Every structure is written in C-alpha cells, then in structure tokens.
C-alpha cells in the first residue's frame, strides 16, 4: 500500500491567514467537549512514552469517546479491558494511586452469586485486589483473590480485551477518511497477539501474557477457573506489551522484577533531586506529592530527562512547557534543564518547511510519533509553531549557566544558541520593525502561537480578532532576556565583542518596546500589536 507524502507542500499563506481571521474559527485540533478530561473516576499511570487511563476498577471500558486505554507513542494499544467474576463485574471498594505515582491499587469484592434463585456465594466473601503499573512500554498487573468464606469456592474469572489502535487525535475527536488494517488475533501457547497495520507501514502489536496460563483463551478473552479453599489466596499475573513494529519485540520481565526496577528508577531520580523537609508534616506530604507528579511526567530521552506536557492529550515533548518547567525546577534539579537544552538542540529546525511552521534555528513546539503525525495528517510529527520557545531556549541556557557554571554544555550547544539568535533576527521579525511576530504558514497548524493558543485569544477592545503578524508583549520580554543571557554566555566563551553587541541590541529593543507597547491612557502595556501595529 502506498504511503501519502509527508513532505512540505507549497501553501498560499493568504488563505491560511484568511482562515485564521474568521471570527470564532475553530482549530481542527480542538478537543470536543464530548471527549471528557480525566476526572475523579479515572486513574492515570505513566512511564516513558506509555501511559494508561483506567476507570476506578482498574478496567478500560469500551466504546464511546472516552480517553480510557493503554497508550504508547501516541496510539491506543488497548481500548478495552474488563474483569468479570462469572458474568458480573466485582463490586468496587476503593482504589488509589500510591504516593510515588508508580502503582494503581484497587480493592474489590464479589456480588451475590445465585444458583436457582438461592444465594450460593454471599457478597463480601472474596477480597479481590489489583496492583498495576507501567514499565518500559508494558502494563503489569497482579490480581489476587482471597476466600474469606467457610467453604471451598469454585468460579470462573474472565478478562475481555480489545485494541482499536486509535491515534491520540482520533481519541480527541478528529475523524479520518481512512484507516489501516486490523489484523486477525493470533493465539499461541496462551499468548495473544493483537495487531494493526497502519497507513504509515508500521505494524503495531499488543501482546498479552498470563501466569498461570488460562483454562481457555480466544482472540479477545481469557478464562480462568478459580478454586479456593477457605482462607486461601490465588494470584494471577497479567502483562500487556506494546510494540511499535516488528523490530521492536520486547521480552517482558517477571512482575516482581519489573516492580523492583520501577522502584529503583524512582529512587535514583529522587536521589538526584534536592530534598526539602520542614517541621510541618502536611506541607512535606504536599511537597512529596508534587515531586512525584513531576517525576511521573519526566521521560528519559537519548538527550536526557524531559518533562512531557500532560496526560492524556499532551504526553509528549513540548518546547515551551519543557523550558518553563526546567526554569522553575532549576534551583533544585538543574539536571532537568540540561536534558531539556540538549533535547531541544537536537530537534532544532534546520530548514524552511511551511507545513511545519519551521525555519532554521527555531525551537520545537511539539513532537509526536503516532500514525497521523507520521502521515502528515496532523503537522505535529515535528512542529515548530510557537513564537516564544526560541527566545525561552536561550533564556534557559543563560539561567542554567548561572546556576551550574557548566561551560562544557554551553560550548556544546553554542551553535544552537547562535542559530536561535539568527532565527530571532532573520525570521522572527517578519516586517522589520524590531519585534518578533508570528503568522501561521501551515494550513493545519496553530493560528495563535503564544502560550494563549486558543484561536480567539488575541483580540481588540471591541472583540474583533487580531490579524497577523502578531507581536506579543511577553515575547518581546523573552527576546530582551534572551539577548542579555546570550551576551553573558558569549562573554564567558571569550567572545567579548559579540557580548557587547547583544547587550546593545537588548537595550535598543527595550527602548523601542516602551514606545510601541505603552498605552498612556490605560497606564499599562498592550498585550500585543496586530499586523497594522494596533494595540490588542
């Protein structure tokens, strides 16, 4: 099957801008209100490039537009997972994500089971616990059942499963004209392999493994026969492995081995972070929870640690978000900034590509690896449509150097800093007025490319939407700070003349900004200037 081209195509910028100017125009990447965000009834786990959204039972309910599922690299590898005793779901007791965000623990019991109208097993006789966690693109589960009754109990337990391989943008509500091919399930030695051949020529596979083996297994269900004497307990282990293509075959670990590896990883990350301890226990708990949340969102890349945007819709690298997170964490975790600087240097734009809003030296806005991104159905495989990430990158480099005096890293990324400065001067200032502006060039990209990126976020006092190119107030501040940071770095690298030039450019920008953005009648600054230099 031929693959649609993902190369940049010529684009009429006036048409893109015309679309952007339509009052109330909605982004094609809008998350529909019928696609609910994670609420208190869902439980979220994440590790690396995989994450999972379960209901409070630890199940994944099928159907609808919900976000529940097991995801890996932008694709849902498991869209249904239902545990049943006989024909009924267990009764919910409690569930929680543990303090370190590494384990989901669920407690349940049995409903009343009747035979010929009489209650054969009374509710509350069994305790059912589920422990789930993610590790290296696999979901591990230990299911324990304990009999608190007076007699030996025999019953059936089943796990129903499905995989729809929906792209994350499909889950968000986007419609696709066509999809790839769902392959027939393969069952061999009690191992089930579900697979999908995408239009991007990748075969994504979900492997499901059990210990002990089920009494019976099909392409969408595993059935176990449970026999428990009084006060006895039985454990079942269940693993779901996500594989992006045939060359990515993974060998899952035993449950306890994987759990120990996950715990060791958390302890190692925690040991590299400054610990704050106070005399107030509740405050310490809040700090520990915040740190655990941060650690969950950090993914180890080849360039180092990088904080992803958020689960479920934004579990991927974002330039602006990563930089600001690194800045806020710089005082207690400078290694995070090092990873962010290196990752964004490696992904910096090197050519003009209108389809991705890319120009040489521009820093990444967003990166995705799902099928729709691979095919160019969305521009976010590597997308550069943020006006502020580039100056913020330079600002972070300067702040990192002041915090660590790590001149070796600064030397290694200095060409990237120079390229970012070049983008500010050569591409960021689109009309030669000395300010950095944005104007979407990608037909499917973001209309608004600052941190307020909803389509109607920049407007005039009468509610009229601003027309581009738009110069945001805060971005000029970022550029000013970036040039001063670059001046410090240039001087530290022995480039004194370059440092003096950058300081002078920052001074001139500040003077120009005061004249253009200050609104005397309001005693404040304009939030932006539109394409005709009118304040917004």
Residue-wise DSSP of 349-375: --S-BGGGTB-TTPPPSEE--SHHHHH
Tokens of 442: 């990608």
Confidence of residue 30 (pLDDT cuts 50, 70, 90): low
Ranges of beta strands (E only) in 7-137 are 42-47, 50-55, 69-72, 75-78, 80-85, 91-97, 104-109, 113-115, 118-121, 126-134
Distance between CA atoms of 60 and 67, rounded to whole angstroms?
9
The 8 Å CB, 24+ separation contacts for 289-292 are 289/99, 292/99, 292/100, 292/101
| Residue 59, pLDDT above cutoff 90 | yes
In sequence order, the β-bridge partners of residue 153 are 228
What CA–CA distances, in Å, run from 382 to 318, 406, 455? Answer: 10, 29, 21
Sort 163 into a burial class: Cβ within 10 Å, 0-12 / 13-18 / 19+. buried
**Dist. CA 359–CA 456, nearest whole Å:** 25
Residue 176: what pLDDT? Answer: 92
Choose among 447, 386, 479: nearest CA to 18: 447
- pLDDT tens track for 388-437: 999 999 999 999 999 999 999 999 999 999 999 999 999 999 999 999 99
| Residue written as token pair 């910028």 | 13
- Average pLDDT for residues 255-259, to the nearest whole number? 94
Q: How far apart are CA 473 and CA 270, in angstroms?
A: 38
> 337: phi > 0 → left, psi -120 to 50 → alpha, else beta; which?
alpha
Tell me how far apart the 2 most distant CA atoms of the chain are, in Å.
Answer: 92
pLDDT digits (tens, 9 = 90+) for 468-511: 899 999 999 999 999 999 999 999 999 999 999 999 999 999 99
| Sequence ranges of the domains in the chain | 13-29+272-440+460-529, 42-261
Q: Which of 21-30, 180-189, 272-281, 332-341 has the lowest mean pLDDT?
A: 21-30
Of the chain, the percentage scoring pLDDT greater than 70 comes to 92
Produce one character per residue of 302-312: b if its CB has 16 or more CB atoms within 10 Å, e if not.
ebbbbbbbbbb
| pLDDT tens digits for range 86-129 | 989 999 999 999 878 889 999 999 998 877 777 778 899 999 99
Fold entry, domain 13-29+272-440+460-529: Glycosyltransferase (1.50.10)
Angle made by CA atoms 22, 26, 30, in degrees to the nearest 5: 165
DSSP string spanning 440-454? --STTS-S--SS--S
* Of residues 193, 169, 194, the one with CA closest to residue 179: 169
Q: Is the pLDDT of residue 442 over 60?
A: yes
Q: Give the pair of three-digit tokens for residue 456.
A: 């109607």
* 3-state SS assignment for residue 154: strand
Query: If 0-12 CB within 10 Å is exposed, 13-18 middle and 19+ buried, where does residue 285 land?
Result: exposed
Spatial separation of the C-alpha atoms in residues 471 and 410, rounded to whole Å: 29
Mean residue pLDDT of the chain comes to 90
User: What kind of architecture, by CATH, is found in domain 42-261?
Assistant: Distorted Sandwich (2.70)
Whole-angstrom distance, CA of residue 481 vs CA of residue 391: 8
The packing angle between helices 407-423 and 389-404, to 10°, is 160
3-state secondary structure of 517: helix
Mean pLDDT, range 219-237, rounded to an integer: 96
């Amino acid at each position: 099957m031929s693959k649609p081209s993902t190369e940049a195509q010529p684009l009429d910028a006036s048409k893109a801008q015309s679309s952007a100017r339509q009052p109330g125009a909605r982004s094609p990447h809008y998350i529909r209100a019928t696609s609910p965000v994670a609420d208190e009834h869902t439980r979220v786990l994440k590790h690396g490039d995989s994450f999972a959204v379960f209901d409070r039972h630890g199940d994944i309910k099928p159907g609808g537009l919900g976000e529940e599922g097991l995801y890996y690299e932008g694709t849902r590898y498991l869209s249904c997972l239902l545990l049943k005793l006989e024909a009924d779901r267990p009764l919910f007791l409690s569930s929680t994500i543990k303090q370190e965000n590494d384990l989901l623990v669920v407690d349940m019991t049995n409903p009343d089971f009747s035979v010929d109208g009489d209650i054969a097993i009374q509710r509350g006789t069994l305790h059912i616990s589920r422990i789930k966690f993610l590790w290296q693109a696999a979901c591990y589960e230990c299911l324990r059942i304990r009999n608190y009754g007076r007699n030996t109990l025999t019953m059936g337990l089943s796990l129903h499963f499905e995989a729809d391989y929906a792209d994350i943008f499909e889950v968000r509500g986007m419609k696709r004209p066509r999809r790839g091919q769902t392959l027939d399930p393969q069952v061999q030695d009690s191992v089930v392999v579900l697979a999908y051949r995408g239009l991007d020529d990748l075969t994504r596979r979900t492997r499901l493994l059990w210990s002990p083996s089920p009494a019976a297994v099909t392409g969408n269900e595993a059935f176990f026969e449970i026999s428990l004497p009084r006060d006895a307990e039985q454990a079942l282990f269940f693993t779901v492995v996500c594989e992006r293509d045939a060359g990515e075959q993974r060998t899952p670990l035993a449950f306890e081995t994987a759990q120990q590896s996950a715990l060791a990883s958390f302890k190692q990350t925690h040991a590299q972070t400054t610990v704050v301890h106070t005399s107030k226990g509740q405050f310490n708990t809040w700090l520990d929870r915040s740190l655990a949340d941060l650690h969950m969102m950090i993914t180890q890349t080849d360039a180092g640690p990088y904080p992803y945007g958020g689960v479920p819709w934004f579990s991927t690298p974002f330039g602006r978000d990563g930089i600001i997170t690194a800045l806020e964490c710089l005082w207690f975790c400078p290694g995070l900034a090092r990873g962010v600087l290196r990752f964004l240097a490696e992904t910096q734009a090197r050519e003009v590509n209108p389809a991705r809003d890319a120009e040489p030296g521009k820093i990444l806005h967003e990166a995705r690896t799902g099928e729709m991104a691979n095919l160019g159905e969305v521009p976010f495989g590597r997308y550069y449509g943020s006006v502020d990430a580039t100056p913020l990158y330079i600002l972070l480099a300067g702040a990192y150097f002041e915090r660590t005096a790590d001149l070796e890293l600064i030397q290694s990324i200095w060409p990237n800093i120079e390229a970012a400065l070049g983008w500010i001067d050569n591409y960021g200032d689109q009309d030669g007025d000395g300010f950095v502006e944005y104007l979407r060039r990608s037909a499917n990209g973001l209309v608004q490319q600052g941190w307020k990126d909803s389509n109607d976020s920049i407007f005039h006092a009468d509610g009229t939407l601003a027309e581009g190119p738009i110069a945001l107030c805060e971005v000029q501040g970022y550029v000013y700070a970036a040039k001063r940071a670059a001046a410090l770095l240039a001087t530290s690298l022995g480039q004194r003349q370059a440092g003096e030039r950058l300081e002078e450019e920052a001074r001139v920008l500040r003077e120009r900004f005061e004249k253009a953005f200050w609104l005397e009648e309001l005693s404040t600054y304009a939030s932006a200037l539109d394409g005709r230099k009118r304040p917004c």
